[in-house]
């Protein structure tokens, strides 16, 4: 046993444990394709991923979908105070319990789904900080399955906007993996071919950094794409100060026809009756060139569009609930009924 240096706390290190590969063999674990699971076994890469989260010594961390526990080991070796593991797949729980026993008092395992887990009670109340302060000593880390990564980040961005969920504690930071293409969308600048709804929704609420790319061959089984590590820090002030659902509706509409001029998507915000006039009014008031492509619009132009659309909704309360796709569906249905009716009439005439 090493003697502790007087006045210093000895750094925590996990005792010798079976390798992640041995854990996989021991518990006969296999990645499930339908859950888009891919294991990261190289501890040098898991250490590098965890370093992107920043200083974790004495921090409280939530790891999403730890699986066989590769990243979990790197988090524990970073000297965290507490580690909450949320794992949906029961097959991984025994291996995670082995890690928990190797780090007494540090690990809490929850068998559950991160999409439904109540993050507002995940951490001690004393860690809460004001939104204007530095981020709290809380971090979310995860090698996310591809199937949940986009819906989950959209959910968390809405939480950032409302300052609830894991952000009830302040500007909680996140370090997460995504398919390389999704990561490029999250961080794309105006004019970039990957500029998308995700770019606007994430960048108007957070500082988003594409940290580094992990080649697909580092995972077991090997995915067909490379994976990128992305770090999010919520902004003190969002770049668009409107409700999340309103921003999302405007942005989704703009990118609905991403290869066409932006006015084509903006038209879908308005009912067919008066559509052209209201689209012109919105674009003129927001000072946005209608012949720009959606990918060319800057954040300030999206802010102008959202602010102007909000005023139009305030003047016409029924406008925000208008759904272009629903109107299209009803129109098709009506046309189908007319067509069916005409066919029946023709058949009756032929009988006579």
Binding site residues for S-adenosyl-L-methionine, as ranges?
Answer: 38, 40, 65, 87, 113, 143
Structure tokens at 25: 């063999």
CA nearest to 320, candidates 243, 257, 258: 243
DSSP 294: G
Contacts of 234 (CB under 8 A, 6+ apart): 135, 160, 167, 171, 172, 173, 205, 206
Length of the chain: 352
Structure tokens at 275: 């559509």
Sign of CA dihedral 91, 94, 98, 100: positive
The DSSP H or E segment spanning 288 is none
Q: How far apart are alpha carbons 225 and 214 in whole angstroms?
A: 10
The DSSP H or E segment spanning 260 is none
Structure tokens at 72: 């979990």
CA nearest to 38, candidates 62, 70, 73: 70
The radius of gyration of the chain's CA atoms, rounded to the nearest angstrom, is: 25
Q: How far apart are alpha carbons 27 and 95 in whole angstroms?
A: 7
Q: How far apart are alpha carbons 139 and 135 in whole angstroms?
A: 9
Cβ atoms of 40 and 46 closer than 8 Å: yes
Contacts of 281 (CB under 8 A, 6+ apart): 312
Q: How far apart are alpha carbons 71 and 45 in whole angstroms?
A: 9
CA nearest to 41, candidates 51, 31, 53: 31
């Amino acid at each position: 046993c090493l003697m502790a240096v007087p006045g210093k706390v000895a750094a925590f290190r996990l005792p010798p444990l079976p390798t992640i590969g041995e854990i996989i063999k021991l518990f006969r674990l296999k990645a499930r394709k339908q859950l888009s699971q891919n294991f990261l076994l190289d501890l040098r890469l898991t250490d590098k991923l965890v370093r992107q989260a920043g200083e974790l010594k004495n921090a409280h961390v939530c790891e999403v979908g730890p699986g066989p526990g590769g990243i979990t080991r790197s988090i524990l070796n970073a000297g965290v105070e507490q580690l909450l593991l949320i794992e949906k797949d029961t097959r991984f729980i025994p291996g995670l319990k082995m890690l928990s026993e190797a780090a007494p008092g540090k690990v809490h395992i929850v068998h559950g789904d991160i999409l439904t887990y109540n993050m507002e009670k995940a951490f001690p109340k004393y860690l809460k900080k004001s939104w204007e302060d530095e981020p709290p000593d809380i971090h979310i880390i995860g090698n996310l399955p591809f199937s949940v990564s986009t819906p989950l980040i959209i959910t968390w961005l809405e939480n950032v906007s409302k300052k609830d969920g894991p952000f009830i504690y302040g500007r909680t930071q996140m370090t997460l993996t995504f398919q390389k293409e999704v990561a490029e969308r999250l961080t794309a600048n105006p004019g970039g071919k990957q500029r998308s709804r995700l770019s606007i929704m994430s960048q108007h609420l957070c500082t988003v950094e594409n940290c580094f790319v992990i080649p697909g061959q580092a995972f077991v089984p090997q995915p067909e794409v490379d994976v990128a590590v992305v770090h999010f820090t919520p902004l003190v002030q969002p770049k668009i100060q409107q409700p999340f659902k309103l921003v999302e509706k405007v942005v989704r509409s703009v990118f609905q026809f991403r290869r066409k001029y932006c006015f084509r998507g903006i038209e879908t915000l308005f009912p067919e009756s008066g559509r052209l006039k209201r689209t012109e009014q919105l674009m003129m008031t927001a000072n946005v060139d209608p012949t720009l492509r959606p990918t060319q619009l800057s954040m300030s132009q999206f802010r102008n569009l959202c602010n102007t659309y909000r005023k139009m909704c305030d003047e016409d309360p029924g406008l925000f609930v208008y759904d272009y796709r629903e109107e299209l569906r009803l129109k098709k249905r009506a046309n189908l009924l007319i067509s069916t009716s005409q066919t029946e009439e023709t058949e009756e005439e032929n009988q006579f």
